[in-house]
Amino acid sequence: MKRTVSLLLAASIIFGSLLASGCADSDGTAAPETTEAETTAPVETAAETEPAVDTDLERAETVFDAFIKYYYNKGKFRNADFWDNAEIFETVIDAYEVTRNEKYLNYIKEIAEATLKQYGKKWTWNEYNDDIMWLCIAFLRAYFLTGEDDYLRYAKINFDPVWERAYSEDLGGGLWWRTDNKSKNSCVCGPGAIAACLLGKATGNEEYYEKAKLVLDWQIANLYEIGLGKVYDAIDIKGNINKWSSTYNQGTFIGACMLYYEYSGDESYLTKAKKAAEFAMRFMYNYGVMNNETEGGDLIGFKGILTRWISRYAVMVENKEVFDWLRRNADAAWKNRNSKNLIWTAWGTKTSEKYIQYDVFGMSTAVALMFNLMLERQLPEKAE
């Protein structure tokens, strides 16, 4: 990992060089001659006592602060809709989970308050079942980090009615994407299973884990290619399957399998998570930089979701290869930031100085990447 040389260390080196060259003191008298040991000793002392700069944290905080400066105001993200808000909220939760810096905790409280003020405490007016599942996840994660009981309550009073209207035995099970009941999609099944697992953990009610297994098993049977690890997008009411794959569906499938394994100990789910992670890295990106998903209001925010769940999976199974890939992406994204330290979702392409053209959701993905990469420090140190 690259480290930034501290100003103090640099000053010590320069000062030592001046002494060695016999420069005059400020009163004009010649400086006394020094031995090589005397000259280098202060440098060694400075190197030992001055704390190294945490490059990963510095980068994460830099892009977060830039994002907040240009896209945030009093708990709201500029031009963010219900779902955008839920996922950018999760990015702030990522920041607090990784750093435990109270700065991010204050943002969590402010965003939660603004969200409830804007959308109310009951969200079933929203026809998109997946939107509500995403916000349930955000509030549940906030609950685990803060202990704020209301966050758990808001998640529960919204998950329960949405599950009732979304789950059906049509097409063999699974969750309807919207209230028009025309398709069952991975974008609601994955988040639905995650939310159910989190509720099971928070409440101790195992019925939520049963719900998670019910929808996850259906997704595996209908929207997952077992040998490859590819997560399909959706199946419509006539049984037609859209086999398109995306970063966020790969990500939530990984997260759902990981969380259910954590509860059940059934390693078959962990195996499926591994396959889904490998598919994303190898087949979707050839272990390279994620430089796509740049069109539309939703697609642009997908990859931040993948970084969230694939990094937590990597910690669980101690998989450094995942973090090597995420670091490759983070290095490219950092290199391609603009002068304002903003990073567009095409991490392999230079971000324009004309940032007004970029949507808030797409500008949040690199923030998620930078903080989720920091979970690598939770891996056990390997002996040399």
Q: How many CB atoms lie within 10 A of CB 293?
A: 20
Predicted TM-score (pTM) of the model is 0.87
pLDDT score, position 382? 61
Predicted confidence (pLDDT) per residue in 287-320, tens digit: 999 999 999 889 999 999 999 999 999 999 999 9
Q: Give the pLDDT mean for 84-98.
A: 98
Residue 77 has pLDDT above 90, yes or no: yes
For residues 335 and 348, give the distance between their C-alpha atoms in angstroms, rounded to a whole number: 9
Q: What number is the average pLDDT over the span 8-37?
A: 34
Calculate helix-pair angle for 7-20, 36-49, nearest 10 degrees: 180
At residue 262, φ and ψ (nearest 5 deg) are -55, -35
C-alpha torsion 327→330→336→341, nearest 10: -140
All domains in the chain, ordered by first residue:
1-53 (no CATH), 54-378 (1.50.10.20)
What pLDDT, in 10s, does the model give residues 325-355?
999 999 999 999 999 999 999 999 999 999 9
Q: Kindly tell me if the per-residue pLDDT of 243 is higher than 90.
A: yes
Output the CA angle 351-354-355, nearest 5 degrees: 65
| Mean pLDDT over each residue of the chain, to the nearest integer | 89
Hey, what long-range contacts does 281-286 have (CB within 8 A, 24 or more apart)? 281/321, 281/322, 281/325, 283/228, 283/230, 284/245, 284/247, 284/250, 285/325
Q: Confidence class of residue 379 from pLDDT cuts 50, 70 and 90?
A: very high
The confidence score (pLDDT) of residue 15 equals 31
pLDDT digits 0-9 by tens, 358-370 = 999 999 999 999 9
pLDDT of residue 376: 98
Is the model more confident about 51 or about 4?
A: 51
Residue whose token pair is 């950092």: 334
Residues forming a β-bridge with 185: 234
Q: Is 178 helix (H, G, I), strand (E, B) or coil?
A: strand
Q: Average pLDDT, stretch 48-74?
A: 87
Beta-carbon contacts of 87 under 8 Å, excluding residues fewer than 6 positions away, are 134, 138, 301, 304, 305, 361, 364
Residue 145 token pair: 């980090």
pLDDT recorded at residue 4: 36
Which distant-in-sequence residues (6+ apart) come within 8 Å of 382 by Cβ? none
Q: How far apart, in whole angstroms, are the C-alpha atoms of residue 201 and residue 125?
A: 27
The pLDDT assigned to 54 comes to: 80
pLDDT of residue 26 exceeding 50, the answer is no
Helix ranges, 120-174 (H): 129-146, 149-166
Pairwise pLDDT comparison (29 vs 373), residue with the higher score: 373
Tokens 């998640």 belong to residue: 155
- How confident is the model at residue 1, as a pLDDT? 42
How many residues belong to the chain?
A: 384
pLDDT, tens digit (0-9, with 9 covering 90-100), for 221-239: 999 999 999 999 999 999 9
Tokens of 169: 């035995």
Listed in order, strand segments (DSSP E) in the chain are: 72-73, 76-77, 183-185, 224-225, 230-231, 234-236, 241-242
* Beta-carbon contacts of residue 4 (< 8 Å; ≥ 6 apart): 52, 53, 55, 58
pLDDT of residue 53: 63
The pLDDT-based confidence of 181 (bands split at 50, 70, 90) is very high
Tokens representing residue 246 in the block: 């995306």
**Six-digit token string for 221:** 């049977």
Q: Which of 316, 305, 338, 219 is nearest to 262 (CA)?
A: 316
Nearest to 293 by CA among 240, 225, 234, 345: 345
Whether the per-residue pLDDT at 46 is higher than 90: the answer is: no
3-state secondary structure of 88: helix
Judged against a pLDDT cut of 70, whether residue 92 lies above it is answered with yes
Q: 245 near 254, Cβ under 8 Å? A: no
25 has pLDDT over 50:
no
| pLDDT for position 381 | 84
Q: Is the pLDDT of residue 5 over 80?
A: no
Could you read off the pLDDT of 98-154 as tens digits, one per residue? 999 999 999 999 999 999 999 999 999 999 999 999 999 999 999 999 999 999 999
- Asked if pLDDT for residue 42 goes beyond 80, the answer is no
